Structure 1
Amino acid sequence: MTKEIESKYEQWQDETLKQVIGKYPERKPEFETTSGIEVPRVALPRETDYLNDLGFPGEYPFTRGVQPTMYRGRFWTMRQYAGYASAEESNARYRYLLEQGQTGLSVAFDLPTQIGYDSDDPIAAGEVGKVGVAISSLRDMQALFAGIPLDKVSTSMTINAPAAVLLAMYIAVARGQGVEERKLRGTIQNDILKEYIARGTYIYPPKPSMRLITDVFKYCREQVPNWNTISISGYHIREAGSTAVQEVAFTLVNAIAYVEAALKTGMQVDDFADQLSFFFACHNNLLEEVAKFRAARRIWARLMRERFASQNPKSQMLRFHTQTGGSTLTAQQPENNIVRTTLQALAAVLGGTQSLHTNSMDEALSLPTEKAVRIALRTQQIIANESGVADSVDPLAGSYLVEQLTDEIEQGVLAYIRKVDEMGGALEAIELGYIQNEIQDAAYRYQKAVESGQEIIVGVNAYQIDESMELETMKVDPAIEAARRQDLETLRAGRDEARVNALRSQLDTAARSDTNLVPLFIECVENDMTLGEICNTLRAVWGEYQPPVWG
């Protein structure tokens, strides 16, 4: 800021601002973002090293985007996260969404699948098909993608602890369709560290879990080069109550841990880093969210170049999927959620996302209905085709406030990274409970602000109405569970049991060695070994993770 601007600013404060504030006080004594960053009354020009801090789209440090033309070339991938009940019912929803203009699939799995149990396991009782699709065998996966050519769509699978097994099933389905592995495009979440932090769908202890992740890195580098081998997820960290700064910081410390784990196996950073992807939430504070995405790109580019000596620009690109904030949706006045989702989707686009899921208005009440999910998809399509924001790359660049927020978020994130480094890294910080406690404290502060009325949630703590719930909701037929048990009984009765037993023994031996397990997983599922049988074999070797007790 020049001395002339500084002088004029002081004059404005004395001669113009003071008169108005004396008569009409501002709404709050101070204004802050959700991360506690002070929002200035008027943002002013800052001294900036443009080429070093911003640069141009598609070039280091990628602050302004990972592609030179961004959405002027093609829109982000429009994915609607979907899956419920049986594979056949979910397949029908996928076909519907593709007909409505969706450009990529995003698979939600039910809770038993997420933690490696078959639908007929006693522990799965009451949860089969409830929060996602139930997948226990290759036959289920074949039904899930029936009539969907896997060389023509990009598929994202939200699966973590058993991610390598579900990827094996997907590869086996592609082979059955006659599709080469090298032509497959998509992502598996495969991010176990955030499960220990925020979500809880872990199975194994950290060491074997990290081994599964690096096995996927190695296999896909050679066999499935267009696949994103991990989606390092801030989304669930944010949904657990973190601030925007914490979301980026803890996502990146996890990413550092994955890079270091891969390097320890003998891989070179540029052998795998271009297949890493990220997943963030987008909440309601539009300008903070835009700045968050821009800061995350710049930090990651510098980490990869300066800390890990990456030489490949593709390894330095933070490519990310965004989902609008599920925790921001309300059961009260659910139509208001359409507005919230629109703001969040707009922020993600202005922030340069590569792919986007928009939540449906009814998700605080149930799985989304067909109408609600269509409105959510139409939200993306209207932003893309009617708003004009996709016509210029990084359209908010140069905004005094956006650049200030980008810089301040960056500094906050780097402070957390230094703190976690001092503890020895992400795994150590998780074991100490540091990351979890930081998120819990942030969630507590926010909840107190809501309860005091300091934070307004329209329809919840302000502008309430008397309402009766007339919104159509979706329910999963409880008969699905019995049908799934019958399917698995039929599968086991018809398979080569001797071959399955031999593979179980082979898997037990391989799990005790450093053999890459992915090829064996493919062989297991192709011979009708179930997800639960594979995961239970590994449980017997590696045990299950037990979270530490703090304080």
Structure 2
Amino acid sequence: MEQIKPYKPKHKIRIVTAASLFDGHDAAINIMRRIIQATGVEVIHLGHDRSVAEVVDCAIQEDANAIAMTSYQGGHNEYFRYMFDLLKERGAGHIKIFGGGGGVILPEEIKELMDYGIERIYSPDDGREMGLQGMINDLVERCDTAVPDLEFPKGKSLENELEKKHPNTLARLISLAENRHEEFEKFLPIVEKEQGSVPVLGITGTGGAGKSSLVDELVRRFLIDFPDKNIGIISVDPSKRKTGGALLGDRIRMNAINNERVYMRSLATRQSNLALSKYVSEAVQVLKAAKYDLIILETSGIGQSDTEILEHSDVSLYVMTPEFGAATQLEKIDMLDFADIVAINKFDKRGALDAIRDVKKQYARNHGLWHTSEDELPIFGTIASQFNDPGMNSLYKMVMDILVEKANSTLNSTIEVTQEMAEKIYVIPPARTRYLSEIAESNRGYDAKAKEESKIAQKLYGVFLTVASILEMDQEKAEELFLDKSGLNEEEIESHIKNKESKELVNLLIKEFDRIKMHLNPHHWEAILKWKEKVNRYKAEIYSFKVRDKEVKIKTHTESLSHSQIPKVALPKYKAWGDILQWILQENVPGEFPYTSGLYPFKREGEDPTRMFAGEGGPERTNRRFHYVSMDMPAKRLSTAFDSVTLYGNDPDHRPDIYGKIGNAGVSICCLDDAKKLYSGFDLSSPMTSVSMTINGPAPMLLAFFMNAAIDQNCEKYIKENDLEKEVERKIKTIFKDKGIARPDYYGELPEGNDGLGLMLLGVTGDQVLPESVYEEIRVKTLNQVRGTVQADILKEDQAQNTCIFSTEFALRLMGDVQEYFIEQQVRNFYSVSISGYHIAEAGANPITQLAFTLSNGFTYVEYYLSRGMDINKFGPNLSFFFSNGVDPEYAVIGRVARRIWSKALKEKYGANPRAQMLKYHIQTSGRSLHAQEIDFNDIRTTLQALYAIYDNCNSLHTNAYDEAITTPTEESVRRAMAIQLIINKELGLAKNENPIQGSFIIEELTDLVEEAVLMEFDRITERGGVLGAMETMYQRSKIQEESLHYETLKHSGEYPIIGVNTFLSSKGSPTILPAEVIRATETEKENQIKTLQNLHKREASEAEKQLSELQEVAIKNENIFEKLMEASKYCSLGQITEALFQVGGQYRRNM
């Protein structure tokens, strides 16, 4: 295929790029913005999860030619239409809108959106026909127009527009200055006449010093400090000399600028080797004419000798990091001669204290401040990435004070600061950053020891066989007669010696045996002695063992149609002690360390590892689906998918960019009543019910909803058991009568199998209708009983999936608070986190990387919880894992390798007990291997992946539906997906054996290979400062993207054959299949959700305000947030809680 050359634009083009609201799929838009930039365009990149208002505000302030969006999470029809309407309403209808969303946006929807006025929506077919560069060329060419004239509404003048700080006018004036300067000069007299006395803060520094985050933190404090003041920001980034394109990337790091009192404009330098645009002076003039109260001018990254910023600012702030090299390098930095203030950002880096000392000395020398105390120098250590950093507080106060002093500013700050220095709130203590390499060393040490012990055992075996041979006895009988705890039974041997010569030789051999045995671990000798007993236990008809002090009896064999006795667990027929010991130490039977072949001696009968996955529309629709998919199944294992509004911690709303996503691609849950309806008719305290919730950012809130729903179910059971229905009904009626609001209801008919359990207390909680002591007893009992999992894996979100909503440190604190609460309340059967590799694999990682990153995240949680003083034996059992299963060879062993690495580390490195050593995991067949071509073939891939998982003894399994590549699964496709598991478990003969892959040469080879590959990855992560250090440099993201690109390249070229996709095509060429119908939430469901929310807000208005205030107080005092959430979640909606926690914990800061 001929390579398409980039289009060469005739004008300077500016394009805003982003992914839509509640959409974390940023890989595609990242690729697009790179190609757009390389085609000579100035790109203002906003990243993922952007509302229409944010994008439109940005496009207007930046005077963009166009907006380019991706939308992979549904709601695109409303989103793009709303964007078009809002641009028109805001007087910016000339800004073109482009979009794409793979197969999510259907052909007829593309046509409707383009008919509505969207410039172009690109489809997968466009991509195939035009290629990426071809699509971008089309987009850029459509935008290649000159900057329009500056026009005013009828009866308005430039003076009026400047006075109102009208963003369209300000933006166009700056664009005219940049592109049509002679046109700008016509307005210059008015701009100059309107100049106010506005202070300008110039911020400059080296590239990568974190200037954008620092500016954002200054802006956040300014808006709090001065509630009635406005701030303007001009941010400059370098242009590429080769293409003329530029990445204007400061906005992506900023959260505080999304405020009507902030105007921000990004400029490209449009010249090489300079830190400022030629037109900065004009841009500053425009903002002064609009009488902003403060202007911040931020330069692009500079070298040692750049001081341009001084010409344009009243006060200058130089931002650097501790990593400047030797102290002599400071003598070369010109800005240390001129800067009014210096910030040493990223103060958590090694050597920060030495760095600030050296900078203070150099600054004092440069400014001749020989007699000034170091503490009085305007030099601050800051960690701008850390929420409410004391160093940032001190820096902000100094900036405002110097602006008053030097620029005659009237901005007298009232913010109070402490004398604390910036100090990193460490998730992992610095002394523990080598934890992954320590684990790798410990595990390798175990393996080396196992090998050495096996060699010793093999030598003993050789000596023993010689003795048996001399005494003319077979091995089995000799073992029975001659072996005991101490070694060889000399008396018994002597009684079998027939002549003197033999006696002398045997005595020598016994001495040699004793000498060798001294080097063998006594436990290992005991294991050898008990081997035959172990074999016989599995040969016996019944095998009995204990689970939590309860004896369990299991039949050891099943009978085939041919009357063959098929063992559930097959043991090796090894005779040699070295082989036996090596097998015990590295493999062993299911249920015994190192748990390579499984966690429990036998699989639980009557409970196949099948999970029932659902999530669509409102809670009622998903409840009906749950009852449908679990019908006639003894165990109810419900997996819940949430809509993107819920995933990002928001409430349903009529606002179009939210409205379109309510109940699409997941269930809408915004309050406790929704959770009650969602799981109604399922006994959440039954040992046969377990619930999995696929939620991360707002996981603690959804978990609190779930726990309270379970508690209220048991309150309902208590009410019925004690004939209290009438009394409780009176109380409930009184509550609603007093509030003047109708009681919430389950919308529609209850499905078959739903007995209404959980619906009696809609709108109230058990503590409102039962005595306090009764409620408390029920609460404690329920928390001990509930079974399930909440995903809540925030590290994986940052690395792969992008549904982080809080700052990383705060999100981890919430996870720790949940786990602490679980320990205190003895929540033993519910997993506080599902450490997930699935999404890492779906983002493109290969199986080894998926496993290594997932386990490394798991060990990071272990280290964090230990640093908080938790007992590993108490939190270890609450950790679970979640993997993806593809068709690569490594997937055949992903579970056994995970179990082996985890158990060795927990036992050998952390000294954990057996229960904590067990790695429990859920596995899901690969979504990435579902293709939109020849979709019937997807079930074949899924079957093979399910076979891998079942043979590897997974704890639970979800099989994807074949049509998920093109639509939300139908009831028919879900039934087929479940049948895959059932056929393997019920019909496939070999699956009657529970360790079928054990003993295979290739499986053993693969296990060792993957295990070592994972340990090597641990070492690579350690080199980057552990998991959190590697995340800072985006190591995990980069590696995932590289591996994704490798797969896509081989798939595209055909080197990696995929049947029905790039080879073995049908006579029609195996085209992409379009869905016959798309399942989406109905208007009625959306309205019901908004009505539920509005009723809650009205019903609990005063109590919610009190609860939210108390919740924030708990967070500020560093008390357990989840404990308070359990109470607040009874009265507050999801969005209310999210907003309240943003104010005390900080929002997630996006990365490029």
Give the TM-score taking structure 2 as reference length.
Answer: 0.42
Q: For 2:950 and 2:990, locate their aligned partners in 1 and report how far apart those are by CA, in whole Å.
A: 8
Match in the other structure for 2:1087: 482
Aligned counterpart in structure 2 of residue 353 of structure 1, from 928, 939, 954 = 954
Structure 2 contact 891–948 (Cα < 8 Å) conserved = yes
Counterpart amino acid of 2:591? G
Match in the other structure for 1:321: 922
Q: For 1:517 and 1:268, locate their aligned partners in 2 and report how far apart those are by CA, in whole Å.
A: 20
Counterpart amino acid of 2:612? Q
Match in the other structure for 1:195: 797
Q: For 2:860 and 2:1006, locate their aligned partners in 1 and report how far apart those are by CA, in whole Å.
A: 27
Equivalent residue runs for 1:454-493 within 5 Å: 454-465=1055-1066, 466=1068, 469=1073, 472-479=1076-1083, 480-493=1085-1098
Question: How far is 1:472 from its partner?
Answer: 4.5
Match in the other structure for 1:91: 623
Q: Secondary structure at the match of 1:322?
A: strand
Structure 2 contact 967–1075 (Cα < 8 Å) conserved = no
Residue by residue over 1:121-156, the C-alpha shift from the partner in whole angstroms, topping out at 9 and shown as x without a partner, is 746232111110000011111110121111221000
Question: How far is 1:309 from its partner?
Answer: 2.1
Counterpart amino acid of 2:1141? L
Q: Secondary structure at the match of 2:700?
A: helix
Larger radius of gyration: 2
* Counterpart check, 1:252 vs 2:252: no
Structure 1 contact 82–90 (Cα < 8 Å) conserved = yes
Equivalent residue runs for 1:411-426 within 5 Å: 411-426=1012-1027
Q: Secondary structure at the match of 2:669?
A: coil
Match in the other structure for 1:206: 808
Match in the other structure for 1:339: 940
Contiguous gaps of at least 5 residues in structure 1: 1-45
* Counterpart check, 1:125 vs 2:662: no
Match in the other structure for 1:237: 840
Q: For 2:652 and 2:991, locate their aligned partners in 1 and report how far apart those are by CA, in whole Å.
A: 43
Q: For 2:623 and 2:680, locate their aligned partners in 1 and report how far apart those are by CA, in whole Å.
A: 7
Structure 2 contact 793–835 (Cα < 8 Å) conserved = yes
Q: For 1:458 and 1:151, locate their aligned partners in 2 and report how far apart those are by CA, in whole Å.
A: 45
Match in the other structure for 1:42: none
Question: How far is 1:445 from its partner?
Answer: 0.9
Structure 2 contact 924–960 (Cα < 8 Å) conserved = yes
Structure 1 contact 161–192 (Cα < 8 Å) conserved = yes
Question: How far is 1:331 from its partner?
Answer: 1.1
Aligned counterpart in structure 2 of residue 306 of structure 1, from 908, 913, 922 = 908
Q: For 1:264 and 1:445, locate their aligned partners in 2 and report how far apart those are by CA, in whole Å.
A: 39
* Counterpart check, 1:379 vs 2:980: yes
Q: For 1:521 and 1:76, locate their aligned partners in 2 and report how far apart those are by CA, in whole Å.
A: 34
Question: How far is 1:547 from its partner?
Answer: 3.2
* Counterpart check, 1:218 vs 2:750: no
Equivalent residue runs for 1:6-155 within 5 Å: 49-70=582-603, 73=605, 75-101=607-633, 103-120=636-653, 122=655, 124-152=658-686, 153-155=689-691
Q: For 1:208 and 1:242, locate their aligned partners in 2 and report how far apart those are by CA, in whole Å.
A: 27
Question: How far is 1:76 from its partner?
Answer: 3.8
Counterpart amino acid of 2:1029? E
Structure 1 contact 368–473 (Cα < 8 Å) conserved = no
Match in the other structure for 2:931: 330
Question: How far is 1:424 from its partner?
Answer: 2.1
Counterpart amino acid of 1:410? E
Residue by residue over 1:85-109, the C-alpha shift from the partner in whole angstroms, topping out at 9 and shown as x without a partner, is 1000000000001105363000000
* Counterpart check, 1:292 vs 2:894: yes
Aligned counterpart in structure 1 of residue 1103 of structure 2, from 499, 521, 524 = 499
Match in the other structure for 2:4: none
Question: How far is 1:75 from its partner?
Answer: 4.5
Question: How far is 1:454 from its partner?
Answer: 0.8
Q: Compared with structure 1, are the counterparts of its residues 470 and 539 closer, same or farther at alpha carbon in structure 2 (3 Å cutoff)?
A: closer
Q: Secondary structure at the match of 2:1129?
A: helix
Question: How far is 1:307 from its partner?
Answer: 2.3
Q: For 2:1102 and 2:1128, locate their aligned partners in 1 and report how far apart those are by CA, in whole Å.
A: 12
Match in the other structure for 1:183: 785
Residue by residue over 1:455-490, the C-alpha shift from the partner in whole angstroms, topping out at 9 and shown as x without a partner, is 111111112222684764442134133332222222
Q: For 2:1102 and 2:1091, locate their aligned partners in 1 and report how far apart those are by CA, in whole Å.
A: 21
Match in the other structure for 1:19: none
Question: How far is 1:548 from its partner?
Answer: 3.5
Structure 2 contact 841–884 (Cα < 8 Å) conserved = yes
Q: Secondary structure at the match of 1:476?
A: coil
Structure 2 contact 966–1075 (Cα < 8 Å) conserved = no
Question: How far is 1:81 from its partner?
Answer: 1.9
Match in the other structure for 1:8: none
Q: Compared with structure 1, are the counterparts of its residues 544 and 471 closer, same or farther at alpha carbon in structure 2 (3 Å cutoff)?
A: closer
* Counterpart check, 1:515 vs 2:1119: yes
Q: Compared with structure 1, are the counterparts of its residues 412 and 236 closer, same or farther at alpha carbon in structure 2 (3 Å cutoff)?
A: same
Q: Secondary structure at the match of 2:957?
A: strand
Q: Compared with structure 1, are the counterparts of its residues 392 and 444 closer, same or farther at alpha carbon in structure 2 (3 Å cutoff)?
A: same
Q: Secondary structure at the match of 1:128?
A: coil
Counterpart amino acid of 2:966? L
Q: For 2:647 and 2:1074, locate their aligned partners in 1 and report how far apart those are by CA, in whole Å.
A: 32
Q: Secondary structure at the match of 2:1079?
A: coil
Question: How far is 1:512 from its partner?
Answer: 1.3
Q: Secondary structure at the match of 2:806?
A: coil
Match in the other structure for 1:537: 1140
Q: For 1:246 and 1:100, locate their aligned partners in 2 and report how far apart those are by CA, in whole Å.
A: 39
Q: For 2:832 and 2:1031, locate their aligned partners in 1 and report how far apart those are by CA, in whole Å.
A: 23
Which portions of structure 1, spanning 4 or more consecutive aligned residues, are displaced by more than 6 angstroms?
A: none
Structure 2 contact 828–877 (Cα < 8 Å) conserved = no
Counterpart amino acid of 1:484? Q
Q: Secondary structure at the match of 1:328?
A: coil
Aligned counterpart in structure 1 of residue 1044 of structure 2, from 419, 439, 443 = 443
Counterpart amino acid of 2:1034? G
Structure 1 contact 75–384 (Cα < 8 Å) conserved = no
Q: For 1:121 and 1:276, locate their aligned partners in 2 and report how far apart those are by CA, in whole Å.
A: 38
Residue by residue over 1:508-531, the C-alpha shift from the partner in whole angstroms, topping out at 9 and shown as x without a partner, is 11111221122211211212x100
Q: For 2:836 and 2:877, locate their aligned partners in 1 and report how far apart those are by CA, in whole Å.
A: 16
Counterpart amino acid of 1:154? S
Counterpart amino acid of 1:215? D
Aligned residues: 499
Question: How far is 1:302 from its partner?
Answer: 1.2
Equivalent residue runs for 1:375-414 within 5 Å: 375-414=976-1015
Counterpart amino acid of 1:296? A
Structure 2 contact 639–693 (Cα < 8 Å) conserved = yes
Counterpart amino acid of 2:711? R
Structure 2 contact 618–1086 (Cα < 8 Å) conserved = no
Q: Secondary structure at the match of 1:526?
A: coil
Structure 2 contact 662–1081 (Cα < 8 Å) conserved = no
Q: For 2:1100 and 2:840, locate their aligned partners in 1 and report how far apart those are by CA, in whole Å.
A: 43
Structure 1 contact 119–484 (Cα < 8 Å) conserved = yes
Match in the other structure for 2:701: 165
Q: Provide the identity percentage.
A: 37
Structure 1 contact 331–365 (Cα < 8 Å) conserved = yes
Q: Compared with structure 1, are the counterparts of its residues 226 and 477 closer, same or farther at alpha carbon in structure 2 (3 Å cutoff)?
A: closer
Structure 2 contact 652–658 (Cα < 8 Å) conserved = yes
Structure 1 contact 100–374 (Cα < 8 Å) conserved = no
Q: Secondary structure at the match of 1:178?
A: helix
Residue by residue over 1:321-368, the C-alpha shift from the partner in whole angstroms, topping out at 9 and shown as x without a partner, is 000000100111111111111111111001110001110011011111
